[in-house]
A and B are shown apart, each in its own frame.
Chain A
Amino acid sequence: MSATITPPAAVATRGRAPRRLALLIALLALVLAALGLAALLHGTPRIGALAELWPILLEGDGQRIARLVVWELRLPRLLLAALAGAALATAGVLLQDALKNPLAGPELLGVGAGAALVVAIVVVFRAPLPFALLPPAALCGGLLAGLVVLAAMRRSKSSVRLILLGAALTALLNALLICVISLGEQQEVAALYQYLLGSLAGRDWRHLSLAAPWLLIGLPLAALCARPLNLLQLGDEVAEGLGLPTVRTRALILALAATLTAAVVAVCGPVGFVALLAPHLARRLLGSGDARLVLPAAALLGATLLVGADLLARLAFAPIELPVGIWTTALGGPALLILLRRQLRPGR
Chain B
Amino acid sequence: MSAVGKKGRDGTTSSALRAAGVRVSYGDRTVLDGLELDITSGTVTAVVGPNGSGKSTLLKTLARLLRSAEGTVFLDGTAITSLPTAAVARRLAVLPQGPTAPGGLTVGELVEQGRYPHTGPLRMLRMQDHEAIRTALTLTDMTAYAARPLDSLSGGERQRAWIALALAQDTPTLLLDEPTTFLDIGHQLEVLELIRRLNRERGLTIVLVLHDLNQAARYAERLVVLDRGRIVADGVPRDVLTTALLAEVFGVRTHILADPESGAPLCLPYGVVGHD
Contact = CB atoms under 8 A, between A and B. Distances in A.
Interface of A: 9-15, 227, 230-231, 233-235, 237-238, 240-245, 287-290
Contacts of B143: 11
9 contacts: A11-B137, A233-B105, A237-B96, A238-B95, A240-B64, A241-B63, A242-B113, A242-B169, A243-B116
A10 B130 CA distance: 5
A15 B130 contact: no
Interface string B17-32: 0000000000000000
A98 to B, nearest CB: 13
B131 A9 contact: yes
B83 to A, nearest CB: 10
Contacts of B156: none
B113 A230 contact: yes
Contacts of A230: 113
A237 B169 contact: no
Provide the main secondary structure of the chain A interface.
Answer: loop
Given A243-B86, A288-B104, A235 B99 contact: yes
A8 B108 CA distance: 15
B209 interface: no
Nearest to A249: B85
Contacts of B116: 227, 231, 242-244
Nearest to A97: B102
A288 B107 CA distance: 13
Nearest to B119: A227
Contacts of B102: 233-234, 289
Given A235-B99, A237-B99, A241-B65, A11 B146 contact: yes
A183 to B, nearest CB: 44
Contacts of A10: 130
B108 A289 contact: no
A12 to B, nearest CB: 5
Contacts of B114: 242
Contact of A237 (B60, B90, B131): B60
B134 A9 contact: yes
A240 B93 CA distance: 10
A14 B60 contact: no
A230 B99 CA distance: 14
A230 B100 CA distance: 13
B147 A15 contact: yes
A287 B87 CA distance: 34
Contacts of B130: 9-11
B103 A289 contact: yes
A233 B110 CA distance: 11
A290 B106 CA distance: 10
A24 B191 CA distance: 41
Given A9-B131, A14-B109, A242-B169, 12 more contacts: A9-B134, A13-B111, A14-B108, A234-B100, A238-B165, A241-B96, A242-B117, A243-B88, A243-B117, A244-B85, A289-B105, A290-B105
B35 interface: no
Interface in B73-88: 84-88
A242 B86 CA distance: 7
A288 B85 CA distance: 28
Nearest to B114: A242
A240 B85 contact: yes
B112 interface: yes
B133 interface: yes
B86 A227 contact: no
Contacts of A238: 95-96, 99, 165
Contacts of B90: 243
A244 B114 CA distance: 11
B149 interface: yes
B101 interface: yes
B7 interface: no
B44 interface: no
A172 to B, nearest CB: 27
Contact of B101 (A9, A233, A288): A233
B127 to A, nearest CB: 6
Contacts of A237: 60, 65, 94, 96, 99
B227 to A, nearest CB: 24
